[in-house]
Amino acid sequence: MNTKDNKKNAISPSREENYSEWYQQVLKAADLAEHAPVRGCMVIKPWGYAIWENMQKILDTTFKKLGHQNAYFPLFIPLKFLEKEAEHVEGFAKECAIVTHHRLEKGKDGKLIPAGPLEEPLVVRPTSETIIGEMFSKWITSYRDLPLKINQWANVVRWEMRTRLFLRTTEFLWQEGHTAHATKEEAQEETLRMLRVYERFAWDILAIPVVVGEKTPQERFPGAVSTFTVEAMMQDRKALQGGTSHFLGQNFARSSEIKFRDAAGEEQFAWTTSWGSTTRMIGSLVMTHSDDDGLVLPPRIAPLHLVIIPVVHKEESRVMVLEYCHKLAADLREISYHKQEISVLVDERDMRGGDKSWSWIKKGVPLRMEIGPRDIEQNRLGLAFRTKGHKDLIMLKREELLLQIGDLLDAVQTHLLEKALSFRRNHTHKIDNKEAFYAFFTPKNKENPEIHGGFALCHWSGDPEIEEKVKADLGVTIRCIPLDEQEEEGVCVMTGKKSKRRVIYAKSY
């Protein structure tokens, strides 16, 4: 392997050559996850899981500040609960793992077979509205019990036929918030508040400039009155849905009988919401920032901010160099960066310095530093950035590094956000006629058929038939009706019917 300057990259194929294979290779090179020997499931390896733990920590702190409490509900959902909400069960029936037996027995050929059939099959939770609704119906009796704001960190299972690490797997990890309120307005506010939490988290922490919007009725969560989403653009210009937030109206309250007496003593159904974000965000992070040398991590989510590589050519300088490195690491750890300590590793592995550097480049660590006796003597430390050429060093005195480390990390963070934002802007176009629309979504390069136009901002009159046609013709869907765009008179790009606003059409994961 070699440096960027020599035009040879660590990841093959490149993004241009084969985007989806590039993604797999980045995951592999960074050691984030791999396919499990269980159909459609993944093993999240330590580096991937450390990113997930950071996501959890930051989101969890925000949820708690907003008054949500964590709890835990059963993995198994009796079929009769799932059936209560007709649209809901319809939406999940095709992709459920079903538990039907509760022990194993030796069959005639001596092989183990399922035994102890259950009277009622249990569904491994694809989401928990129905079981949590059942509990809410017991816990809520009066308006004094409201709002009830619960969050759960858990694994869920959806039997996906085609799976991709982090993006679509049979089992994945997530958080699901579930709240109940006395009024419609309050539940709607909560829905949007949590949507904005996902938006801020994506922009500020993941450096992913998501668009927030509402899903069309076609794309709603099964059983919801309205579904909101944050949508990001990947480097192949496809959309990836991040956190979603659902206003459930009184649908689940009716099916689960979540009722309360209001201040006047009248019995009413509660208004509920649910909102979730998943390990999919790791896939989004990978595809937003990584390059042809591997993973690139924004500092605010990186498990490690800086790797120090001691350079020892002569045995007699070993102790001195190592001591210096460890002391520097200890001093850096005393510095607080966005309420966390700066995370530093001194890489003492028995391995060539160049190989060490490359291993951390591929893992996306924002900053690297090789330190040898001369650097120490001259108090000139060379800081390398994951986001610059691998041999472009910034020279700093020790005391400057300690003083500036937070700003340097923030500069990387800002750079990544701006880069992603400008990428999204460059590939987002207002399109007002059908031919241009079809051309936009038709790949130019047969060698790399995944690369197409990006996000098309088009007028849409609200016809679900248009969504179906566009999906059938181009594999394109309406990702969302953006919340923060101005209303604007126009005509539907497909039908010419009057329309009040533009929506985002895109191919998506």
The residues of the shown chain that bind a second copy, judged by CB under 8 A, are 36-38, 41-46, 49-50, 52-53, 69-79, 81, 83, 89, 93-105, 112-114, 116, 121-124, 131, 134-135, 150, 154-155, 157, 159, 170-171, 173
Choice between 171 and 292, CB closer to a second copy: 171
Using alpha carbons, select from 199, 224, 226 the residue that is nearest to residue 215.
Answer: 226
Residue 507: exposure state from Cβ atoms within 10 A (0-12, 13-18, ≥19): buried
> Residue written as tokens 């017991």?
138
> How far apart are the C-alpha atoms of 24 and 42, rounded to whole Å?
13
How far apart are CB 73 and a second copy at their closest, in Å?
A: 5
CB nearer to a second copy: pick between 171 and 293? 171
Closest separation between CB of residue 462 and a second copy, Å?
Answer: 31
Query: Phi then psi for 148, rounded to 5 degrees?
Result: -110, 120
3-state secondary structure of 495: coil
What is the token pair recorded at 387? 């986001």
Minimum Å gap between C-beta 366 and a second copy is 20
416 closest CA partner among 455, 394, 386, 382? 386
Residue in the block written with tokens 């039997």:
159
Least distance in angstroms from the C-beta of 109 to a second copy:
13
In terms of CB distance, is 76 or 423 closer to a second copy? Answer: 76
The amino acid present at 210, given as its one-letter code, is V
Nearest distance in Å: CB 325, a second copy:
19
Cβ at position 19, least distance to a second copy in Å: 26
Q: How far apart are CA 210 and CA 240, in angstroms?
A: 9
Closest distance of CB 113 from a second copy, Å: 8
Residue whose CB is less far from a second copy, 157 or 230 = 157
Closest CB to a second copy among residues 153, 423? 153
Q: Which is nearer to a second copy, 116 or 496 (CB)?
A: 116
- Token pair for residue 355? 């190989």
Comparing CB distances to a second copy, the nearer of 38 and 330 is: 38
**What is the 3 state secondary structure string of 215-251?**
CCHHHCCCCCCEEEEEEEECCCCCEEEEEEEEECCCH
Measured from the CB atom, the residue of 154 and 436 that comes closer to a second copy is 154
- Cβ proximity of 274 and 131 under 8 Å: no
Q: Report the nearest approach of a second copy to the CB of residue 264 (Å).
A: 17
List the one residue out of 206, 262, 287 whose CA is nearest residue 23. 287
Residue 28 · residue 42 · CB < 8 Å: no
